[in-house]
Amino acid sequence: MPFFRHFTRVVGLAVAAAIVVGPIAWTLIESFKSEEDLISSTPVWLFAPTLEPYRYLLVSGSSFLPGRSFVQLLLNSFVVAGSSSIAAVLLSLPLAFLISRVRSNWFSRFSTPLLYLSFAFRMVPQFSIAIPLLNVYRTLGLTDTLFGLILLYSVLNLSITLPVFSGAFSRISPEVNDAALLDGCSQSTLFLRIAIGSIAANIFSALPLAFLLSWNELPYARILTRSDALTAPVGVLMMIPPPKDFDAEVFQFMGSVAIFQILPAMILVLLLRRFVLRAWEDYIVD
């Protein structure tokens, strides 16, 4: 029985791992095949690798982008995802601290809906928000600006940072708190010197989550950018080789794109592996 139990678990996990990795591995392999080998009706196992899809993605495909190269779009994405994640952290730290400190009734009557509101921004179908937002951005002249995107993504990222940080702050042990206050430490010194430091792990778990979600975001960027502020996901959409009918060529192209999405995520996860589960634990327990 123990052997059988162990056996089924191991086999189950192995099959699951194969199902997760298989399609990705297949896609990456196919992206190095020549088109001829790709559309052959029996799979070709040995082939002369080609880098054409990658050349297309980084160089020649840029002719479909309005005066920009894909590398520039990657840079845009990096700037937008990076600054909106950091902005969300900076914006939410004081508010989260306040939420965890102030226990008065009127304040929680105000802060709880605020938390849900920030959560709703992330969870509502994007086009419910994007269409009215486009209207507003047009009036304010924010369409197709990096600032406009950063502003929107910061609000979206608050839905991650606010609940995680306020939960983390409220778990700081009361002894630490009282000791600091007794020693004449003011609340703001406590906040800056002690509280932020003791939730560093939570900050490092929320940051990559916020970064990745902004890095791959398409629907809002698709609607709010045209040329100057294009991000990589929108560029990918524009660069789908014509006629955009998802043939073998498009598939190869997608394979080459996948690398640019997997790599940053992999690097972040390998660096911050021990924070991945923690991020969700924080997010849900609180």
Partner 1 sequence: MKVNKRQGSDLLPIQLASIPAIVVVVLTATVILYSALTLSATNAKLSNQPAEFVGVNNFLAATEDQQFIESLLSQALVTTLSVSIEISLGLLLSYAIYKSTKRVQSFAIVMLVIPLSISQIVIGSIWVFLFNHAFGLVSYVLNSLSIRTIDLMNDPSAALLLVVLADVWQWTPLVIIIMLAGMRTLQRNIWDAAEIDGASDIAVIRRIVVPALRPFIIIAIVLRILESLKIFELLIPFQGTVSLPNFYIFTQSFHYGELGYASALGLLLFILSSSILIVFLRIRGER
Residues from 217 through 246 that contact partner 1 (CB under 8 A): 218-219, 223, 233, 236-237, 245-246
Contact assessment for residue 247 and residue 158, using Cβ atoms and an 8 Å cutoff: no
Nearest residue to 212 (alpha-carbon basis) of 136, 157, 265, 156: 265
Residues from 182 through 211 that contact partner 1 (CB under 8 A): 186-188, 191
According to the binding rule CB under 8 A, does residue 179 interact with partner 1?
Answer: no
Q: Which of 3, 46, 48, 125 binds partner 1 (CB under 8 A)?
A: 125
Q: Which of 47, 64, 78, 251 binds partner 1 (CB under 8 A)?
A: 251
The contact pattern for partner 1, residues 2-21, with x = CB under 8 A and - = no contact, is: ---x--xxx-xx--xx-xxx
Q: How many CB atoms lie within 10 A of CB 204?
A: 15
Residues from 135 through 174 that contact partner 1 (CB under 8 A): 135-136, 151, 154-155, 158, 162, 174
Q: Which of 58, 71, 74, 265 binds partner 1 (CB under 8 A)?
A: 265
Q: How many CB atoms lie within 10 A of CB 31?
A: 24
Q: How many CB atoms lie within 10 A of CB 262?
A: 12
According to the binding rule CB under 8 A, does residue 178 interact with partner 1?
Answer: yes
According to the binding rule CB under 8 A, does residue 1 interact with partner 1?
Answer: yes
DSSP letter string, 25-45: HHHHHHTTS-HHHHT-SS---
Distance CA 133, CA 130 (A): 5
